[in-house]
Structure 1
Amino acid sequence: MESNESSSIEYEFTILALYQFLDHKLAPEVVADRRDQLEAFLRPKTARGMIILAQEGINGTICFPSEHRDAIMTHLLHDFPNLRTRLSYHKENVFFRLKVRIKSEIVTLGVNATASDPTLQVGTYVEPGDDWDKLLQDPNCLVVDTRNEYEYQVGTFHNAINPHTHSFVDFPEWIQNNMDQMKQVTKVAMFCTGGIRCGKATAYCMNLLKDSPQKPEIFHLKGGILGYLDAVPAEKSLFKGECYVFDRRTAVQHGLKPSTSYVPCHACRHPLTAEDRLHPDYEKGVSCHVCIDSRQTRRERYESRQKQMKLWDTHLHDRKERKLQNQLQRVDSATGVSNTGSLLIEGST
């Protein structure tokens, strides 16, 4: 488990990014059982965020009161003992609700599963710091940002190539179209936010190159950009800008401190600077210069959602969490004892 412990003193909430690719795939019924057990365990602890379960493993980011950190980590590690994790901290919960979903992939690349399986083949992990920086400055190394266009624009590494993708499922086509460029160098180094996308990207790249006589060595950054920003001080860093994250913080800086430069458009999630918010197309919660041309029906939905967002301080967004809180209040009223956070739900462990 890796974390920025210095920040935990300031903030009451822990943000846990996690993933693991499993060597042995889970049976569908096991995935379903783990989904039910995990949600039942997390919900009483007011954890929020998104966790994806699949036969190939687990992926997600959740946020919860820091007092529950040890219990949540113990529960997750019981089922996923080789879980890769990254901890950071914030003054409030960075998500609105909890979702635990079952999907066919824990991160969707959309190609043959065997061809992109990181448990069969994967790039060489490189620790954040001097070793990674040497690759960034090596003229014989092709540095590839595997993230999407809007993420790249918020911040990226020195010398990194922008594939101009809008979704991770676009990335295989970019790799296929740039095979010749990869064969002309001796090294290819890939990176992403936390490491999971690079697991599949490097595996797929190695699969395509396996029969080629010209085969560069494939690397990827251990722990992703988050690991680098956590480990490397700003004055020594080759990362320029901030790292986009998929929660209310929008982006993080060195030391995994929340961004002071960006807020999300609540309609399309595009990161917006202060200048962007002065644009005539910007209407809080409804549109920005990126999504202004959305269909009118979508605008009406966003306008309605923005009204609900204004109620955030006094109303919970998550209906299941609201139901649980009502149950807890009834228990408190009946017994005269505070049971908040300890109600046992059927199916929890």
Structure 2
Amino acid sequence: MKPLSDYIDFLNSNEKQFNDDDNLVVVAFYKFFELENLNVFQVLLKSIFDKTNIKGTILIASEGVNGTISGKKNEISKVLKQLWKLDDLSDLKPKYSFASKNPFFRMKIKIKKEIVTLGVNNVSPTKLVGNYVKPEDWNELISDNSVLLIDTRNDYEVSIGSFKRALNPGITNFREFPEWVSKNLLTKGPSIKNKKVAMFCTGGIRCEKSTSYLKSLGFEDVYHLEGGILKYLEKTPESESQWDGSCFVFDYRVSVEHNLKLGKYDMCFACRMPISEDDKESEYFIQGESCHHCFNISNDKQKKRFKERQKQIELSKVRKISHIGPNLNEKKG
């Protein structure tokens, strides 16, 4: 089985990482497929995870499944093998990375209208989708300056890294992407639909759905990065990379870099924006309460709540107990 062999290759190539018992495996995955009985599938997934210490979030909808989980190698291995035994997930191709501590606080399996919210009816990659481009072939595609290269992620993600010369739509949520297309592409006339378009996102799910959307509008030559930025950073040597900066991830690691090493960004827990060490020097930065992005946005009631939350976090550290923080996946678009 190819997905299993990919996982084994990952473990073997990172064997030294597992010498530290504290290291955890982070697994990001998604798949578009037609799912009819959501409640039954939810119960099935819960039965797989209930007796483990794995944490994370899995979203299921009629269009498929989307999740990120984290746990010890042995438990992750057992869970993946059970997922691959399911008919609809037998070809699931996860992305893997490491974390020194679990980036999640609990395990949640939730039913949603969409596994990634575009907000447009009848857009389905299972029925209509663009061309998949493997990470090994991505550089050749985007080196062609005639290709319209679009970053389909949110603006705060793009702010810390993207591919060179990629177009940033400046959206704050994936639901805004159709409006951006309407105002910035469709207004250029019918000829725009003949242009070669390449799109990318963190793990592949948003850009895959974006290709389905553009194809439904009549765009003919549409491509997306298979496995997303995470797979590109894993597979592409840094010396050959066209990626510039860090890749934002929706958990407490905040960002990763080439070879999926932990990035250098922290997070403002008030507005959840990525912040650098230089950003922390700002007069507006108060740990757990505000940063230069949000100091003039939050009201007094919110600031009081942020301050109390930070106090509880500090107390938890002193007492050496875990503190349940915000769910960063809520912001994912």
Instruction: Tell me the TM-score normalised to structure 2 length.
Output: 0.86
Residue identity matched to 2:248: Y
Q: 3-state SS of the aligned residue for 2:230?
A: helix
Report the equivalent of 1:159.
165
Report the equivalent of 2:148.
142
Residue identity matched to 1:160: A
Structure of higher CA gyration radius: 1
Report the equivalent of 1:287.
290
Give, in whole Å, the separation in 1 of the partners of 2:114 and 2:25. 26
Contact 1:8 1:88 in 2 (8 A): no
Instruction: Tell me the TM-score normalised to structure 1 length.
Output: 0.82
Deviates more, 1:34-43 or 1:138-147: 34-43
Residue identity matched to 1:137: S
Does residue 25 of structure 2 align to residue 19 of structure 1? no
Q: 1:55-66 alignment to 2 at 5 Å? A: 55-66=62-73
Task: Give aligned pairs, total.
Answer: 306
Q: Specify every segment of 5 or more residues in structure 1 that has no aligned partner in the other structure, as ranges.
A: 210-214, 320-349
Give, in whole Å, the separation in 2 of the partners of 1:294 and 1:318. 22
Residue identity matched to 1:88: S
CA-to-partner distance for each residue in 1:145-203, whole Å, 9 max, x for gaps?
00010111111011100000000000011112212558346310000001000121110
The two structures, once aligned, show a CA RMSD in angstroms of 2.0
Q: 3-state SS of the aligned residue for 2:51?
A: helix
Give, in whole Å, the separation in 2 of the partners of 1:288 and 1:8. 39
User: Which of 222, 238, 254 matches 2:258?
Assistant: 254
Report the equivalent of 1:345.
none
Report the equivalent of 1:176.
182
> How far did 1:44 drift?
3.1
Report the equivalent of 2:104.
95
> How far did 1:41 drift?
3.2
Q: 1:87-236 alignment to 2 at 5 Å? A: 87-112=96-121, 114=122, 116-129=123-136, 131-177=137-183, 178-181=185-188, 183-184=191-192, 186-209=195-218, 215-236=219-240
Residue identity matched to 1:141: V
Report which structure shows greater RCO (CA 8 Å, sep ≥6).
1
Give, in whole Å, the separation in 2 of the partners of 1:266 and 1:145. 25
Contact 1:19 1:196 in 2 (8 A): yes
Q: 3-state SS of the aligned residue for 2:17?
A: coil
Give, in whole Å, the separation in 1 of the partners of 2:320 and 2:47. 24
Give, in whole Å, the separation in 1 of the partners of 2:309 and 2:42. 28
Q: 3-state SS of the aligned residue for 1:9?
A: helix
> How far did 1:304 drift?
2.2
Give, in whole Å, the separation in 1 of the partners of 2:41 and 2:320. 32
Give, in whole Å, the separation in 2 of the partners of 1:183 and 1:194. 30
Give, in whole Å, the separation in 2 of the partners of 1:309 and 1:47. 22
Give, in whole Å, the separation in 2 of the partners of 1:278 and 1:40. 47
> How far did 1:39 drift?
3.1
Q: Specify every segment of 5 or more residues in structure 2 that has no aligned partner in the other structure, as ranges.
A: 326-333
Contact 2:54 2:76 in 1 (8 A): no
Does residue 57 of structure 2 align to residue 50 of structure 1? yes
Report the equivalent of 1:331.
none
Q: 3-state SS of the aligned residue for 2:98?
A: strand
Give, in whole Å, the separation in 2 of the partners of 1:42 and 1:318. 20
Identical aligned residues as a percent: 38
> How far did 1:84 drift?
2.8
User: Which of 275, 279, 284 matches 1:276?
Assistant: 279
Contact 2:289 2:306 in 1 (8 A): yes
Report the equivalent of 2:306.
302
Deviates more, 1:37-46 or 1:247-256: 37-46
Report the equivalent of 2:242.
238
